[in-house]
């Protein structure tokens, strides 16, 4: 065995693959961003001049879409463990579709907020609306990064680089996608309880 192979077979000191460790650090930082935003939301709400309004009912539908996408990405991971590559591809495509539908739904809900005269900025804007746009928009940005990650893993599946002996990429995208779903549930429940 040459020195290059020896380097690649060594176990990392943490016992976790560096890509998985980086993913964990990234998720902790993303969670800290949202913890800061929701804390700021509570502090600003208690200062007064806060417009109370109901969340559009469509938020429940987009939440269901994201929960379904968690089920399909889990299906992709399970199929990869069994070397069922066609199912992996189908499940990843469904996850992509559901993720895109979630984003379109969120965009349409922003339109409903504007119709209710809830604005992000401007003379008619209120901090309550601005916070809602920021929380959902920043989550949407991270969901777009998840969709890009899904596309990369989908491409790998078409190159037969996702299977029971190469689970790192599909494992990472599954963890990240579940994290985005859990983060959305946290935000949705937070907004329901604080509106």
Q: Locate tokens 């600003």: which residue?
A: 44
Spatial contact of 57 and 186, defined as CB atoms under 8 Å apart: no
pLDDT tens per residue across span 46-84: 988 888 888 899 999 999 999 999 999 999 999 999 999
CATH T-level fold of 19-193? 1.20.120
**pLDDT class for 124, splitting at 50, 70, 90?**
confident
Question: What is the rounded distance in angstroms from the CA atom of residue 178 to the CA atom of residue 21?
Answer: 16
Q: Residue 4 pLDDT > 90, yes or no?
A: no
pLDDT at 2: 44
pLDDT at 13: 61
Spatial contact of 113 and 129, defined as CB atoms under 8 Å apart: yes
More reliable by pLDDT, 117 or 138: 138
* Averaged pLDDT for residues 38-47: 93
pLDDT at 61: 96
Where are the domains positioned within the chain?
19-193
């Amino acid at each position: 065995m040459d020195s290059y192979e020896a380097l690649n077979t060594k176990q990392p000191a943490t016992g976790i693959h560096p890509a998985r460790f980086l993913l964990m650090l990234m998720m902790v930082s993303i969670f800290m961003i949202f913890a800061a935003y929701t804390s700021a939301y509570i502090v600003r709400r208690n200062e007064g001049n806060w417009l109370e309004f109901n969340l559009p009912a469509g938020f429940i539908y987009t939440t269901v879409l994201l929960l379904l996408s968690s089920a399909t990405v889990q299906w992709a991971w399970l199929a990869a463990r069994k070397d069922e590559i066609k199912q992996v591809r189908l499940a990843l495509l469904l996850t992509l579709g559901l993720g895109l539908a979630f984003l379109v739904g969120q965009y349409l809900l922003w339109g409903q907020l504007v119709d209710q005269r809830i604005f992000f900025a401007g003379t008619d804007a209120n901090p309550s609306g601005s916070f809602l746009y920021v929380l959902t928009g920043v989550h949407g940005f991270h969901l777009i990064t998840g969709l890009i990650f899904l596309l990369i893993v989908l491409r790998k599946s078409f190159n037969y680089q996702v299977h029971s002996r190469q689970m790192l990429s599909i494992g990472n995208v599954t963890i990240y996608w579940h994290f985005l779903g859990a983060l959305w549930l946290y935000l949705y429940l937070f907004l329901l309880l604080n509106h």
